[in-house]
Chain A
Amino acid sequence: MITPALTIRDLTIAIGNKKSPTRIVNGISLDLYAGRIQGLAGESGSGKTVSSLAVLGLLPANAIVTGSMRLGSTELIGLPLARLRDIRGRRIAMIFQDPSASLHPQIRIGGQLTDHVRRHLGYDRKKARAHAIELLERVQVPDATEALSRFPHQFSGGQRQRIAIAIALACDPDVLLADEPTTALDVTVQAGILQLLRDLALERQLAVLLVTHDLGVMSAVADDVAVMRAGLITESGTREQLFMTPQHEYTRELLASLPGAKTNSMNGDAE
């Protein structure tokens, strides 16, 4: 039996004051495996983004998190900030919906790409630079060497997301959290980013948590899918199980509610 890269058990998240905290996540369990993409679907407010932020301890100070999140043998809940910092970016990395918000507008790409490896892995300037060029080439940013000296605004949205992915991969993490990574992009650009994510997951044996509301994206790249609603996982399984033979009423409703005129043979009975 393969051990998961990240194990989440009975995760609950409540936010608010001590007397009347609001439960946002009501006990979810998930296993992320190296080389596989775990999709997390659900509507606005279902708790999918909060759950992914909790993995990196990125919730506001008034959030109460219980349960267990284990990265290998390390329990992440209750981990002191200093140790969490060693894990952030180095063993668990994250990319977001809006790449221009995750990049610093006034720092050249080169600086943002080398920062992590110099800090976490102790690379010297020259080694970090060579590493950065290699990363940019891998995510197919053209003219990698030249790109290092440019600022984020000089790239298109798709290129910026590629750069954000390169930064996330800089320290060769075990887990990549991707929260709506292609939602802000044009569809033709999205196709390229999805291909890249799937290739990288396999070749670097990354365990990917892909949070998206877009079931098309989910169907294209996720190996396993979990559907969240009101803080609970209502259904989970392999991609084929979930799309072809959805068991839960809510999953069927989600599939039936898809906009778009393309006919889907699989959800013909759900419509």
Chain B
Amino acid sequence: MSLLRVDDLAVEYRGAKVVRAVDGVSLSIDAGEVVALVGESGCGKSSLARAVVGMETPSEGSVQYRGRPVPTLGVRQRSNDFTSIQMVFQDPNSSLNPRIRVGAQISEGIAAARRRGMEATRPEEWLERVGLPATVVNRYPHSFSGGQRQRIAIARALAARPDLLVADEPISALDASSQAAVAEMMRKLALESGAGLLFISHDLAVVRLIADRTLVMYRGRVVESGATDAVWNESRHPYTRSLVAAIPEPDGKGNLPAAPTVAERAAWFDIVPEALDRV
């Protein structure tokens, strides 16, 4: 049984007109597996992530965690069965409480793990694991840099000892040159604890580095999926090909990657069956 199983999921937002952000997506994640979800902004990848953790109610389809449907988050504390799903958000400034010491925030994660019968850990251990000194445990979030804050948010999520970690653009708010390091750290820590990691990003270079499998989303649908190597090195879908072609090559030749033409963009809507479930 997969750790996470998403079947024909649709997420819609109702307003003046209905926006179908996720349009029939299926995926599964096993323990110890890193799955990346890539696509341009607005393609529905964040909506998918939010539905996975229960922050959005699916309008169609299902999200099952260990064979049981993930309940929508309410005002009340989440039942212990589902605190082993944790999430890391894009912006640590809004996911950390500015008025609580970082050690106390990490302790909230530890408490969630203890309620599931896990043994107690200390916040200092988690700080060290994400590369921060244990001595900062009594400081407030404002005294850290953006990258350090994201490391704290990751420490808090990991302290709850998740089996499934969902990270929505966890590195895009970071200083560009520390992005790859934090992404690699997340892979390492998730795998060490035997968890599955759903890693959402628009940064293809980083995704290639850390993901076992990659799903490429366009306008709410998965257009290409499968083993990371196959998806990037022998892309079958025109959208994935455009993505790969748009990555500038560091060859010193001064070649600008071509911005996609209107005709090319039209083909991105195509369904290419052989681009799915690549091995």
- Bound pair: A and B? yes
A residues near B (Cβ < 8 Å) are 42-46, 97, 156-157, 180, 183-192, 194-195, 198, 212-221, 223, 239-240, 242-244, 255, 258-262, 264-267
Of B1-9, B188-196, B203-211, the one contacting chain A is B203-211
Query: Given contacts A44-B147, A186-B202, A192-B259, are A260 and B247 in contact (CB under 8 A)?
Result: yes
Query: B40: CB under 8 A from chain A?
Result: yes
Which residues from chain B contact A219 at a C-beta distance below 8 Å? 248-255
Chain B interface size range: 35 or more
24 contacts between A and B (CB under 8 A): A46-B177, A186-B202, A187-B246, A187-B247, A188-B259, A189-B40, A190-B257, A191-B259, A213-B177, A215-B250, A216-B248, A219-B248, A220-B254, A220-B256, A220-B257, A223-B254, A243-B250, A259-B180, A259-B205, A260-B208, A261-B232, A262-B249, A264-B250, A267-B250
Chain B proximity of A224: nearest CB distance (Å): 11
Q: In whole angstroms, how far apart are the Cα atoms of A215 and B254 in the complex?
A: 11
For window 229-279 of B, CB contacts with A under 8 Å fall at: 229, 232-233, 242-243, 246-260
Which residues from chain B contact A45 at a C-beta distance below 8 Å? 177
What total of A-B pairs shows CB separation below 8 Å?
116
Which residues from chain A contact B232 at a C-beta distance below 8 Å? 261
Which residues from chain B contact A223 at a C-beta distance below 8 Å? 254
Q: Find A255's partner among B202, B243, B250 (CB 8 Å cutoff).
A: B250
Which residues from chain B contact A189 at a C-beta distance below 8 Å? 40
The residue in A187, A215, A265 that gathers the most chain B C-beta atoms within 10 A of its C-beta is A187
Query: B175: CB under 8 A from chain A?
Result: yes
Which residues from chain B contact A44 at a C-beta distance below 8 Å? 147, 175-178
Q: In whole angstroms, how far apart are the Cα atoms of A148 and B214 in the complex?
A: 39
Query: B72: CB under 8 A from chain A?
Result: no
Q: In whole angstroms, how far apart are the Cα atoms of A191 and B256 in the complex?
A: 7
CB closest chain-A residue, reference B39:
A186
Q: Find A184's partner among B172, B177, B233, B253 (CB 8 Å cutoff).
A: B172
Decide: A188 and B205 in contact? CB cutoff 8 A.
no
Q: In whole angstroms, how far apart are the Cα atoms of A183 and B248 in the complex?
A: 12
